[in-house]
Amino acid sequence: MTAGTAIVTGAGSGIGRAIAERLAAEGYRVLVADLRGEAAEAVARAIGPAAVPCAGDVSDEAEVARIVSTAEAAFGPVTHLVNNAGFVHQARFIDLTPADWDRMIAVHLRGSFLCTRAVLTGMLARGAGVIVNMASQLGQIGGIELVHYSAAKAGIIGMTRALAREVSARGVRVNAVAPGPVNTPLVASLSEEWRRAKAAELPLGRFGEPDEIALAVAFLCSPAAALFVGQTLGPNSGDVML
């Protein structure tokens, strides 16, 4: 008996890959979704029979439907969704274009909305399901030269809380994880100056690792997190203390 069927978006590298690997190790069957098909295939191949890949853009409704149908065809009803897909773009607010803003919101916030909507009807019909949204500590405190990213992540936290109030009594648990900076290709794309300044601010004195974030997600996916409703866990090296 498996732990369930999980879709992990943005699972071709970094935190998403670590989450897919962790969930597979804990007995889940995993749909590895990523914008880059070759990356999704590589991760699924490394995991083995418990994983299948699917290329897709989470901001596109038709592609989200294909991701979900691929998971269902391979493993049956989706019991767990991890909305992890995202990217980062660094710029001063005054230099942001409407296209920069729209793409950031489309991938992070619209993508989380579309993926959640695509699986939620089935979860509610079965009276069970788990949704974990990937936020960021910058959605709680903001980040210099990352206004659009911070706004998108703050939106995810708000969506998590509101949806949890709406569906938790019907058996679907919704929570979020808000990591601090993590040693991933995404964070490595930020300027060295930004990374040096941020590291100096952290009480722990170091960035996190993808596996450490995956452990938090796996906990929220598990029955051990039964009392966690609308929460935002903060594996953030002490950048935010609540």
28 is catalytic: no
- Decide: residue 241, CB within 10 A, 0-12 exposed, 13-18 middle, 19+ buried: exposed
- Decide: residue 1, CB within 10 A, 0-12 exposed, 13-18 middle, 19+ buried: exposed
Q: Please say whether the beta carbons of 54 and 44 come within 8 A.
A: no
What's the CA gap between 92 and 83, in Å, rounded?
27
Hunting for tokens 């269902």 — which residue is that?
72
What's the CA gap between 144 and 174, in Å, rounded?
29
Q: Catalytic: which of 28, 75, 113, 149?
A: 149
Q: Which residues are catalytic?
A: 149
